[in-house]
A and B are shown apart, each in its own frame.
Chain A
Amino acid sequence: MIERLVNLTWILVGGGAAVLSWRIGLTGQYGPDSGLFPFVAGLLVCAGGVGLMLTRSNAVTGLEWPDRTGWRRIGGVLAGLAFMAASIPYLGFAVAGVITMLILLRTVEQSSWRSSILLAVVSVAVTLGLFGYLLGLQLPRGPWGF
């Protein structure tokens, strides 16, 4: 099911890109225009999707997806990262990082609150110290100044 969905995505993405590239223009006064290369690539992606959809030999046999616990862990990682990406501009790296770490440690590993808070604070402080201060990388700051 998912494999068919992925193949369909290739067909739609490739086909869509080819149409948009055609509109940009394939050839100009001095040879190929901006649309030619993406047009060819789009056609190939689309053709790849069609080929994969039609041939059974390319399909994965014995595909294993995670069990319920596995999905919970994966969901926890994705939720943590999504939270961090969304909150960094408002909370700054330090606070967003600690909250993300807590989400990860509580949902993925179901660690105790105490060890989760300790590990989250220590690892974010080390990251901030190493990259933010020692190596001089500018990490976003929140309204609290860190």
Chain B
Amino acid sequence: MEAISGLMTGFGVILTPSNILLCLLGSFVGTMIGVLPGIGPLAALALLLPVTFSLPPVAGVVMLAAIFYGAMYGGSTTSILLNIPGEAASVVTCRDGYQMARQGRAGAALGIAAIGSFVAGTLSVIALTFFAPVLGVIALRFGPPENVALMVLGLVCTLYMITGSTLKGLTMIALGVLLAMIGIDVVNGQERFTFGSINLTGGLDLLAIVIGLFGVSEILANVEKITKNALIAEKIKGLFPTREDWKASLAPMLRGSGLGFLLGLVPGGGPITASFISYAVEQRLAKDPSRFGKGAIEGVAGPEAANNAAVGGGMIPVLSLGIPGTPVTALLLGALVIQGIQPGPLFMQQRPDLFWGIVASMYIGNVFLLILNLPLVGLWVQLLRVPYRVLFPIVLMLSVVGTYSANKNVFDLWVMLSFGVAGYVLRKLEYDLAPFLIAFVLAPLLEQSLRQSLVMSPDGIMIMVQRPIAAGLIAIAFVLVALMIRRGLKPQETGGLINEIRQ
């Protein structure tokens, strides 16, 4: 009942002309970003974050959330029509979506991707509505030791879920923590790694890092080889699925929704992992797995549902516990902090308008996205004609504006540039950059909670095992570490299922 009354409060907050307009604008921009290859949702969110500074918190976060799930919707269009993923979570959609388009079934593929995204998005928001308050009540029992345990578990989960080398992932986490320590220690005013520079006393700016690491480095990787897009379908027909398509897609959609939601809850999971695992599951459950990769509609329905459901799932830990599981939710957390709001156990009690406003906006946003992605598909097809050579200088301009406008400091532009180069090299060397960003966001909170825990404990670090919730979370973290050690730190043995599909 609490969830229903909360949701009504949320609709009361969101159903104003300005909030609805911003939700629509966010959905539109998100879809556009998803459609355009070479701009990821994370970079786009970072670029547009300064725009929200002048908006009220509810409106700003509603718009950012809409961009996030809008990008998940839009990513499939490029995968299906160009065989180029609009964003990382749509990589797997290329396999069967593009084959369907080549067989003259682009409309069916786009239709099922949009409907699957809508079904999964709505189901995951329903689950978010009822699950988040329960978690919120449990989270009220959390003190500093439980927060430490939760953040440690979050970082271990992130490491467990990454693809590629675990050792590289661990190095990235440690580096994220280390760079987050730059600046003045808020506890005692001690300067750390500032080297006398006034620019470093406030620490490195999150926006400059995100735009550099995920925006500039992506542009550098894309300009390396600029290829002309080969659009496979000029006019899209038959968007509404046939009875056979429905029959084949319904179960994968529902399975994808469940899987995506659960994986969204796990730190390090998120839309990318969800889409890959959903594809693997559908392939294994299929009567004829050899159809996969040759235009199987289940290979579009499942992963597209999964990556959208993961958005709803991913909102739960960040809103209820203040723990981001993916770089995008880490940035959303950063956006809330900039607005003077600290998500966490008390967030739902202290700001029910904001919490339920975000949830309600996701229901409305999903409907907007279905409308934007089905009847307006022709518009997105036209957008794909914009050549990258025209697009990237504009994105770079926006990167500069986005980075500069946060602090009005030119030093941030140099930080952005440095992280752009670093991101490009690290991508080449197959480093996963997500753990770095999650660690960078979590480290100050982790340090503060650990210090509070040790101050309140007469037995030092033993407090972590004396409190049942903290001990349970630490035990799970230990189990995951043991599993990682058991499978070895070799890259080919990590993220097995995902690597198998990627190959």
Listed in ascending order, the chain A residues whose CB lies under 8 Å from chain B are 2-3, 6, 10, 13-14, 17, 20-21, 24, 28, 30-35, 37-38, 40-42, 44-45, 48-49, 51-52, 55, 57-58, 60, 63, 65-66, 70, 73-74, 76-78, 80-82, 84-85, 88-89, 93, 97, 100-101, 104-105, 108-109, 111, 119-120, 123-124, 127, 131, 135-140
Contacts and interface: CB of A to CB of B under 8 A. Distances in A.
Q: Which of B178, B181, B410, B430 has the most CB of A within 10 A?
A: B178
A135 B490 contact: no
A44 B408 contact: no
Contacts of A6: 425-426, 429
Interface in B449-501: 450-451, 454-455, 460, 489-492
Interface in B50-88: 50-51, 54
Contact of A17 (B193, B223, B389, B460): B193
A38 B175 contact: no
B165 interface: yes
B141 interface: no
Given A30-B455, A77-B219, A82-B417, A45 B224 contact: no
Interface residues of B, number: 65
B454 A31 contact: yes
Given A6-B425, A32-B454, A78-B421, A51 B167 contact: yes
A37 B447 contact: yes
A73 B224 CA distance: 6
B54 A135 contact: yes
A21 B185 CA distance: 12
Given A58-B168, A97-B400, A38 B405 contact: no
Nearest to B54: A136
Contacts of A74: 220, 223-224, 424
B225 A70 contact: yes
A70 B417 contact: no
Given A38-B177, A57-B490, A65-B428, 16 more contacts: A20-B193, A34-B190, A41-B177, A41-B443, A48-B170, A52-B168, A58-B490, A70-B223, A77-B216, A85-B410, A88-B413, A93-B401, A101-B393, A108-B223, A109-B226, A138-B405
Contacts of B416: 81
A52 B491 CA distance: 11
B425 A2 contact: yes
A139 B405 contact: yes
A54 B187 CA distance: 38
B95 to A, nearest CB: 22
26 contacts: A6-B426, A14-B174, A21-B192, A33-B190, A34-B187, A34-B188, A37-B447, A38-B177, A38-B178, A40-B177, A44-B170, A44-B174, A48-B167, A55-B489, A58-B165, A58-B489, A73-B223, A74-B424, A77-B220, A81-B413, A85-B413, A89-B410, A93-B404, A100-B396, A108-B389, A123-B393
Interface in B141-168: 165, 167-168
B215 to A, nearest CB: 11
B171 A124 contact: no
Contacts of B430: 60
Nearest to A76: B223
Interface of B: 50-51, 54, 165, 167-168, 170-171, 173-175, 177-178, 181, 185, 187-188, 190, 192-193, 216, 219-220, 223-226, 389-390, 392-394, 396-398, 400-401, 404-405, 408, 410, 413-414, 416-417, 420-421, 424-426, 428-430, 443, 446-447, 450-451, 454-455, 460, 489-492
A78 B417 contact: yes
Contacts of B393: 101, 104-105, 108, 119-120, 123
B180 to A, nearest CB: 9
A145 to B, nearest CB: 18
Nearest to B216: A81
A6 B175 CA distance: 13
Contacts, number: 191
A77 B429 CA distance: 21
A2 B437 CA distance: 23
B171 A24 contact: no
Contacts of B216: 77, 81
B188 to A, nearest CB: 6
Contact of A32 (B193, B392, B450): B450
A53 B329 CA distance: 33
Q: Which of A58, A70, A109 has the most CB of B within 10 A?
A: A58
B401 A139 contact: yes
A40 B413 CA distance: 29
B247 to A, nearest CB: 42
A130 B319 CA distance: 31
A139 B181 contact: no
A131 B405 contact: yes
Nearest to B405: A137
Q: Which of B185, B224, B392 has the most CB of A within 10 A?
A: B224
Nearest to A128: B401
B225 A66 contact: yes
A77 B217 CA distance: 10
Nearest to B172: A48
A10 B220 CA distance: 23
B421 A55 contact: no
A83 B404 CA distance: 15
